[in-house]
Amino acid sequence: MAGSFSVTYTAFTAGTPAVDAQVNTNFDDIEAELNDFPTDGSLADGCIDTAQLATDAVDGTKIADDAVDSEHYTNGSIDAAHYADDSIADAKLGTDVMHDSEGGYNYCDVNGTKTAVYTKYLTGDLDDASTTTISHGVTTGTTKILTASIITYDGSSYSAGGMFNSASSAKSIWLAIGADDIVVTNQGTSVRNRAYKIKIDYIL
């Protein structure tokens, strides 16, 4: 096997009577070192350091299962390619997943393109009149709002009411979406001055 050993010897001067004794002493030292050098391939614990390991010398077969802990992972070292499909359960997802400065969103197909669709809710009381104007807060809402729906309180329960473009019913109501506001028109007498809840789905 490949290895190394060291011998401490006494230098001698040629031509002196002590040469033979000095040479014998040195060879005795070498013999002693060789006798201690392992012949079965074993090495003393701690005798190999990182400098003696060749690049890529330690592969997966030399690493015990469950031996590498998270402290050894470099921050940002695990990319999407190393996640198995469905490997992240819902319980491991934080509350800010699918969430940005605008709010929570879902990816939906909008005209054939996967698009972030946001949802917001507006609540309040309708005016005691046939029309109520409510600011929706969506920039250029006329083109960015995909859907809008309303439920109203009629004194006993919330209901969708009747989406009629006339006030012929006591629960009639109509939504008109503008650039800045939602205008609730044709409010029937049963929903006037009552609470409302409006849901808006929109894109940026």
In-domain check, residue 78? no
Identify how many contiguous H helices and E strands the chain contains and give both numbers.
2, 9
pLDDT value for 89: 76
Q: What is the pLDDT of residue 113?
A: 92
The 10s digit of each residue's pLDDT in 180-204 is: 999 999 888 888 999 999 999 999 9
CA distance 137 to 133: 12
pLDDT of residue 70: 84
Does residue 112 sit in the same domain as residue 54?
no
- Please tell me the predicted confidence (pLDDT) of residue 171: 80
pLDDT, one tens digit per residue, over 135-167 is: 999 998 899 999 999 999 877 888 775 566 555
7 within 8 A of 26, measured Cβ to Cβ:
yes
Range of the domain at 23: 1-69
- What pLDDT, on the 0 to 100 scale, is given for residue 2? 46
Whether 116 and 190 map to the same domain: the answer is yes
Identify residue 116 by its one-letter amino acid code: A
Residues of the chain under the 50 pLDDT cut: 1-2
The pLDDT of residue 9 is 53
pLDDT at site 204: 92
Residue located via tokens 């690493």:
63
Give the span between the Cα atoms of 63 and 154, in whole angstroms: 69
CA 42 to chain centre: 46
Assess whether 152 and 196 both reside in one domain: yes
At residue 22, the pLDDT reads 57
Same domain, yes or no: 119 and 182: yes
Q: In terms of domains, do 50 and 115 share one?
A: no
